[in-house]
Amino acid sequence: MIAFRRATKLYGTVIGVNDVTLSLPQGAYGLIGPNGSGKSTLLNLMTGQLRPTLGEVRVFGENPCNNPEVLRRLGVCPEQDSVYADVSGLEWVAYLLQLHGFGRRAARQRAADSLDRLGMAPAMRRRMGSYSRGMRQRTKLAAALAHDPELLILDEPLNGLDPVGRHEVTVQLQEWIRRGRGLVLASHILHEVEAVTQSFLLICGGRVLASGSAEEVHTLLAEIPNEIHIRTNDAAGLARRLVEEGAAESLRFDGGESLIVATRNPAVLYARLPQWLDGTGIQVRELRSTDESLHALFSALMRIHRGNA
Amino acid sequence: MNGYAAADPGVLTVGRSGRRVVGLEPAGRDEYRPVQWFLCLICRRWPRDYTEGMPIHDLGYRAWHGRLVPQIGRFWVISQAGIRLAWRNMWLRRTLLLAWLPVIHVGALMFVYEQMLANEPGFARSQPVGTIVPWLQQIPFSDSRHQVWACLLWFFFRYPQLFVMIFVVGQVAPPLVSQDVRTKAFLLYFSRPLARLEYVLGKMVVVWFYLSLISAFPGLLLYCLAVLLSPELSVVWTTWDLPLRVLAASVVLMAPTAAIALALSSLTPETRHATFGWFAVWALGWATYLILEANTLGASSPRRWDFVSLYHTLGTLQYWVFGLKQELTGRVLPLPGGTGFLPPPSQVHVWPAAIEVAVLTLVALAVLFRRVSSPMRI
Amino acid sequence: MSILRATAAVFAFECRRALGWRRGLLVLGLASFPAVILWLIRYEGGQLDRPDAWPLALFVLIPELVCLLGLLLWVTPIVQTEVEGKTWPHLAVRPAGKLPLLLGKYAAGVFWTVATAWLALALAMWVVWPLDDGPHVAKVLGALAVLSSMAYGALFSLFGIVFLRRGMIFAVGYTLVEFLVRLIPAIIRQLTVQYHLQSLLVAWMHWEEVNRRMGPLFGVTSPAENIATLLGYTLFLLGVSAAILRRRQLVTAVETA
């Protein structure tokens, strides 16, 4: 379905995507990465909006740049939240369908159906300038789905949606996948993507670091120690105590008063820490756990790729 | 285990709900920070015996104890940002470079004139000079240095720099306010302790900065060049007022143009509309003036049409600023005004021009202030 | 077939979108400007208040000034509006491609400019009426407005595509340069759009005598040649614009690395 062969995209001296080789058969994929990791660049390469500086990109076996046959089979929902403020949602989606080659009447009918499926029927004749963010997002999705493409490429499609909206869109996407269509869904939020697809591509710093199923990602997460930041009056003493109890995978000092503890069992550490410190005179002034497991995941993957782990 | 802390209260506590509580500093009730007081009031809960934790991290607002910049200097922050942003425009930098080329031309004219004044009559009648600047032979040499320098400086302001000004301001000014409106940076500005005046002044200084780069600075440089190319330093005594006139002419150029450009920028969130408006003001004014003046050519007492064109109105004002006489102007320089379709700037009627420019500036400022405060009006 | 249909869709959409009081106000403002000037001339009397001088004044005001201002506003930013408004990604991923987008928006811009010019002509004719051979003058200037809009429109759209954010500045700069170049009595002026428009004016108004008196100001090429050149310019410049747009990678990033 999609193939990258040593594809690199440079913006001047800035690397957008770095030597990516991928082959994605028909299916649904979540593209996960932090902000600035190259997700949008990768998607723009897939849709032909960017040409790779090196290497090549193939979608449905062809170069997607300026290729109407490929573009006809794609549905794209970009991340940008901008639409024409002075035009109704129906008119806008119908216009985009006309650019697909549909006649005016057919375009309007399809547009209305697509908007209706996404819960936009009551508002589709209103000016888009009066839409909320969630409504704009649904309209964009409707525009991507209206021409019944074979492959859907969505960049942060759940941005701006309330929980009900997220659920509805997730259900739509699940239905989409059940029909055997292709999907590439980019996001920086793991659980959102997890609700839709079980296959992931993890991207960071312009490189695809890992790929696999949800279980494999969670296993990876589980294998990566959590880091806990502790500020105390006696960092050395605390470190000694933790080592004695065997509670830490690794320890490092951060300034004179802080200790960063990496542990695979943070729950145990939280529960037992007061007990361990009882009577030692060690005071804990601040205890902070980074809850960004995705950040930890990517940090760990980067370390592996750099050969530091 | 109920999760209560042991020996040292308030250090690490676990709330009654069993939640982990982190980051509490030891505090008595009277040592709570305002944020905590407020939240306690809202929740109507107070920790008892310092052991009932509140899930609040004490990372509240911390007052700045250093020295703040005085209010009067805050506009400069906006100006600096605007100047730096505009400087990134490669085409603006090229335009500025181009804007300095007339300095070479006018400087050369000053040099030739000074050489002629330095008792080298043969120089004026020499082949190269006679071919290139034949009109210089008509200048009376006695004590017209002040007038000729003033005339050359006026020429510099009136023709090349006024043209370049349109392009420089057309690149710098339109996005200054319109982009703030479009990107909603407006709201960020006015959520700070910033007055409208400071905001407007900050934006104006951006335009003034770039205008001074093409008017005041090169004008003063030309004066210095002229002094350096003179036979002796005593010329400064007879021409000491010219630098002041240069500054005054720069003010005449900068004040209304910046106000109008920013007013246009504030009227629309689309930069291109502001750019169009800016160019349309000059194009329509110029075209109107040309056609109406052509219509009155040859009339015995023609009506003046300077007022329909801002370009010509500013020219009239600058003419007065440099204290020029019409006869000398017509003789010293082969002005388009002296020899052809365009009539020469007249000894006129500076007051109507000054009033017109003042009114335009005030109206533009009023529009600008009104538009700047409109997002904050309910 | 689908390119034509897509172009028509873009044209219709852009025209519908532009309908509103703002556009109406702009059109009215631009269109009434020549009429106001001519009324002032009429009121003052003077050199131009002669029947043979009106067509020249009308030519300067309408096919030159009004058309150029209209194109500056409605054609130059055809791509800039989409890129700055971040709606470009939605349009560029459609199979019709960028060519219908360019042609449709160009056509819409030229349509509005010609409509404004014709309205300006109607208002101006009403001010200067009665005019010798008025209907013929109106036809000549109407046709010149169309040719001027098409040729300059293609040129300005090229500026807008090449210099995305500075297209308007370059368009104004080019206009000023062309204003000077057309006065040079050499081959170079035949490369300007102005030369061909003025040449057509002289030929269609039968101003051979005027031409002899004004000397180098007006050209002497045949009307067919002028029209062919202008249409050739239009097609060539649009072709170049389309080729550049096809190659350009216009990506509006929400965030940067």
- Decide which of B142 and A241 is more confident: A241
The single-letter code of the amino acid at B366 is A
Shared domain check, A247 and A127: no
**C29 in contact with chain B, both atoms CB, cutoff 8 A:** no
Q: Do C76 and B272 touch (CB under 8 A)?
A: yes
CATH number for the domain harbouring residue A33: 3.40.50.300
Other beta carbons within 10 angstroms of residue B303's beta carbon come to 11
Q: Output the pLDDT for position B68.
A: 78
Residue A63, domain extent: 2-221
Strand A207-213 versus strand A226-232 pairing type: unpaired
Q: Do B272 and C37 touch (CB under 8 A)?
A: no
Q: For A73, how many CA atoms within 13 A lie in the half-sphere containing its CB? A: 17
Q: Output the pLDDT for position C114.
A: 96
Shared domain check, A271 and A236: yes
Q: Do C169 and B288 touch (CB under 8 A)?
A: no
Instruction: Say whether pLDDT at C32 is over 50.
Output: yes
Q: Which chains touch A (3 or more CB pairs under 8 A)?
A: B, C
Of B87, B115, B3, whose CA–CA distance to B52 is shortest?
B3
Q: Do C172 and B279 touch (CB under 8 A)?
A: yes
Q: Work out the average pLDDT over B227-256.
A: 89
Q: Output the pLDDT for position C233.
A: 94
- What residue in A sits closest to C13 (Cα-Cα)? A95
Instruction: Identify the three-state secondary structure at position B14.
Output: strand
Determine the distance in angstroms separating the CA of B263 from the nearest CA of chain C, rounded to an integer.
18
- Res. A245 pLDDT band, cuts 50 70 90: confident
Q: Work out the average pLDDT over A193-209.
A: 84
- Residue in B12, B22, B23 nearest the CB of A274: B12
Q: Output the pLDDT for position B23.
A: 39
Give percent of chain A above pLDDT 90.
Answer: 28
- Decide which of A115 and B158 is more confident: A115
Look at A97-101, A282-286, B70-74, B201-205 and tell me which has the smallest mean pLDDT: B70-74
Shared domain check, A116 and A10: yes
pLDDT tens, position by position, B321-335: 888 765 555 554 544
- Report residue B88 as tokens: 């990134």
Shared domain check, A288 and A192: no
With contact defined as beta carbons under 8 Å apart, do A80 and C252 qualify? yes
Boundary (domain end) residue, out of A201, A221, A241 = A221
Give the H or E element holding residue A212.
strand A207-213
Q: Do A99 and C6 touch (CB under 8 A)?
A: yes
- Phi/psi at A186 (nearest 5 deg)? -100, 135
Q: Output the pLDDT for position A59.
A: 93
Shared domain check, A119 and A158: yes
With contact defined as beta carbons under 8 Å apart, do A141 and A77 qualify? yes
- What residue in A sits closest to C254 (Cα-Cα)? A80
pLDDT tens, position by position, A96-154: 999 988 989 999 999 999 999 888 899 999 999 899 888 888 899 999 999 999 999 99
CATH number for the domain harbouring residue A260: 3.30.70
pLDDT tens, position by position, A80-91: 877 788 899 999
Q: Do C46 and B91 touch (CB under 8 A)?
A: no
Interface size A-C, in CB pairs within 8 Å, comes to 93
Q: Output the pLDDT for position B91.
A: 92
Mutate to test the interface with B, among A226, A287, A290 (most CBs of B within 10 A): A287
pLDDT tens, position by position, C83-124: 888 888 888 889 887 899 999 999 999 999 999 999 999 999
Of A160, A159, A155, whose CA–CA distance to A47 is shortest?
A155
Shared domain check, A33 and A153: yes
Q: How far apart are CA C127 and CA C121, in angstroms?
A: 10
Contacts of A51 in chain C (CB under 8 A): 249
pLDDT tens, position by position, B285-334: 988 888 888 877 666 666 677 788 898 889 888 888 888 765 555 554 54
Shared domain check, A207 and A98: yes
**C84 in contact with chain A, both atoms CB, cutoff 8 A:** no
Instruction: Say whether pLDDT at C171 is over 80.
Output: yes
- Res. B13 pLDDT band, cuts 50 70 90: very low
Instruction: Say whether pLDDT at A3 is over 50.
Output: yes
- Res. B339 pLDDT band, cuts 50 70 90: very low
Q: Work out the average pLDDT over A225-254.
A: 85
- Res. A290 pLDDT band, cuts 50 70 90: low
Q: Do B272 and C49 touch (CB under 8 A)?
A: no
- What residue in C sits closest to A51 (Cα-Cα)? C249
Q: Output the pLDDT for position B124.
A: 53
- Res. C133 pLDDT band, cuts 50 70 90: confident
Tokens 């409208």 label which residue?
B196
- Phi/psi at B6 (nearest 5 deg)? -90, -105
Mutate to test the interface with B, among A258, A283, A289 (most CBs of B within 10 A): A283
Q: Output the pLDDT for position C239.
A: 95
Mutate to test the interface with C, among A41, A99, A204 (most CBs of C within 10 A): A99
- Decide which of B334 and A268 is more confident: A268
In DSSP notation, chain C reads: -HHHHHHHHHHHHHHHHH-SHHHHHHHHHHHHHHHHHHHHHHHH--TT-STTTHHHHHHIIIIIIIHHHHHHHHTTTTTHHHHHTT-HHHHHTSTT-HHHHHHHHHHHHHHHHHHHHHHHHHHHHHHH-S-TTHHHHHHHHHHHHHHHHHHHHHHHHHHHHHSTTTHHHHHHHHHHHHHHHTTS-SGGGGGSHHHHHHHHHHHHTT-HHHHHHHGGGS----HHHHHHHHHHHHHHHHHHHHHHHHH------SS--
Shared domain check, A203 and A181: yes
With contact defined as beta carbons under 8 Å apart, do C238 and A18 qualify? no
Instruction: Say whether pLDDT at B222 is over 80.
Output: yes
Q: Do B276 and C172 touch (CB under 8 A)?
A: no
- Residue in C37, C46, C68 nearest the CB of B299: C46
Shared domain check, A201 and A146: yes
- What residue in B sits closest to C69 (Cα-Cα)? B280
- Residue in B6, B20, B25 nearest the CB of A270: B20
Q: Which chains touch C (3 or more CB pairs under 8 A)?
A: A, B
**B277 in contact with chain C, both atoms CB, cutoff 8 A:** no
Mutate to test the interface with B, among A80, A272, A280, A286 (most CBs of B within 10 A): A286
Contacts of C41 in chain B (CB under 8 A): 291-292, 295
Of B344, B326, B282, B277, whose CA–CA distance to B308 is shortest?
B282
Look at A169-183, B108-122, C57-71 and tell me which has the smallest mean pLDDT: B108-122
pLDDT tens, position by position, B109-153: 888 778 777 765 555 555 555 555 555 555 554 557 888 888 888
Q: Which chains touch B (3 or more CB pairs under 8 A)?
A: A, C
**A167 in contact with chain B, both atoms CB, cutoff 8 A:** no
pLDDT tens, position by position, B76-100: 999 999 999 999 999 999 999 999 9
Q: Do A50 and C249 touch (CB under 8 A)?
A: yes
pLDDT tens, position by position, A32-75: 887 788 888 999 999 999 999 999 999 999 999 988 899 999 99
When divided into structural domains, chain A yields a total of: 2
Look at A198-207, A244-253, B55-64 and tell me which has the smallest mean pLDDT: B55-64
Q: Output the pLDDT for position B41.
A: 57
Instruction: Say whether pLDDT at B69 is over 80.
Output: no
Domain boundaries, chain C: 2-247
Shared domain check, A145 and A272: no
**C40 in contact with chain B, both atoms CB, cutoff 8 A:** yes
Q: Output the pLDDT for position B328.
A: 52
The model carries a pTM of 0.79
- Residue in C40, C163, C169 nearest the CB of B292: C40
Q: Do B171 and C47 touch (CB under 8 A)?
A: no
With contact defined as beta carbons under 8 Å apart, do A65 and A48 qualify? yes
Determine the distance in angstroms separating the CA of C46 from the nearest CA of chain B, rounded to an integer.
5
- Decide which of A263 and A96 is more confident: A96
Give percent of chain C above pLDDT 70.
Answer: 91
pLDDT tens, position by position, B20-57: 444 344 444 444 455 555 555 555 555 544 444 554 55
Q: Do B5 and A284 touch (CB under 8 A)?
A: no
Instruction: Say whether pLDDT at B231 is over 90.
Output: no
**B6 in contact with chain A, both atoms CB, cutoff 8 A:** yes
- Res. A209 pLDDT band, cuts 50 70 90: confident
pLDDT tens, position by position, C191-238: 899 999 998 998 898 887 777 776 655 666 788 999 999 999 999 999
Determine the distance in angstroms separating the CA of C71 from the nearest CA of chain A, rounded to an integer.
22
Q: Output the pLDDT for position B6.
A: 38
**C66 in contact with chain B, both atoms CB, cutoff 8 A:** no
Boundary (domain end) residue, out of A221, A247, A275 = A221
As a whole number, the mean pLDDT across chain B is 76
Boundary (domain end) residue, out of A190, A221, A252 = A221
Shared domain check, A269 and A210: no
Q: Output the pLDDT for position A261.
A: 87
